[in-house]
Structure 1
Amino acid sequence: MNEKFDFLPLGSIVVVNGGIKKFVIVARALQVNINGSKQFFDYAACTYPEGINGDRLMYFQHTDISKVVFKGYVDDDEIMMCENIFNAMKKVDIERANVEELKRSMVN
């Protein structure tokens, strides 16, 4: 992970590129297995206002966000957690996942 950005806090509500549906961020820096390759997504989210439905989550990258509708709560713990995520990602050689590739892998 080369570029650094400010992760949105858990609870943030966003709209992703090409959509109008709102999603609430429930996890960050997730490792997934796509076609036998370990990759990561910046975020996992569930639909808003419905919430988590079974095990269905939406995975996406920070660059996939077109609009931040609401920014979640930030305190010292949140700031420290984001730093910990970035420090951990520097130590791991893992490829950034591609949303379109994940969609294709789920169809097959």
Structure 2
Amino acid sequence: MEKENSLLPIGSVVYLKEGTVKMVIIGRSNLLTLPEKETVLFDYSAVIYPLGYVGEKEIYFFNKNDVDKIEFKGYSDSENEQFVKICLIIKINQKIFLFKEMLMNF
């Protein structure tokens, strides 16, 4: 599996845990507002391979820990590596904020 702090590049093909179809990653660090009005940050958005995008209701959101197997790793260059670093900084800051908030409520 990938390093804990890294994100797979766009175009990567994965199998999800207990999944039977390949998924192509089309987005990363996706904020999604659920019907309960809760906003959730997902590591990835993907579509079914080989169908691709067939409509907004067929986009699947998941996190790194949902990935069972990496079938193909997408293209990565310095721009991608910079994006991944920024995402990591944001995630670390988010954890620090949540930890401080938890301490204040303790």
TM interval, short-chain normalised: 0.7 to 0.9
More strand by share: 1
Q: 1:85 Cα deviation (Å)?
A: 1.5
For 1:102, the equivalent position in structure 2 comes to none
For 1:60, the equivalent position in structure 2 comes to 62
Structure 1 distance, partners of 2:59, 2:10, is: 14
79-88 or 7-16: which moved more?
A: 79-88
For 1:12, the equivalent position in structure 2 comes to 12
**AA at the equivalent of 2:74:** G
Number of corresponding residues: 92
Q: When the two structures are superposed, what TM-score results if normalisation uses the length of structure 2?
A: 0.78
For 1:50, the equivalent position in structure 2 comes to 51
2:91 alignment partner, SS class: helix
1:83 alignment partner, SS class: helix
8 Å Cα contact 2:9-2:73 kept in structure 1: yes
- What does the per-residue CA deviation read over 1:3-57, in whole Å, with 9 as the maximum and x for residues that have no partner? x521000000000000110000000011111211111111000011110011120
- Bigger CA radius of gyration: 2
- What does the per-residue CA deviation read over 1:53-108, in whole Å, with 9 as the maximum and x for residues that have no partner? 1112011110000000000011111100101122233444799xxxxxxxxxxxxx
For structure 1, the 5+ residue unaligned runs are 96-108
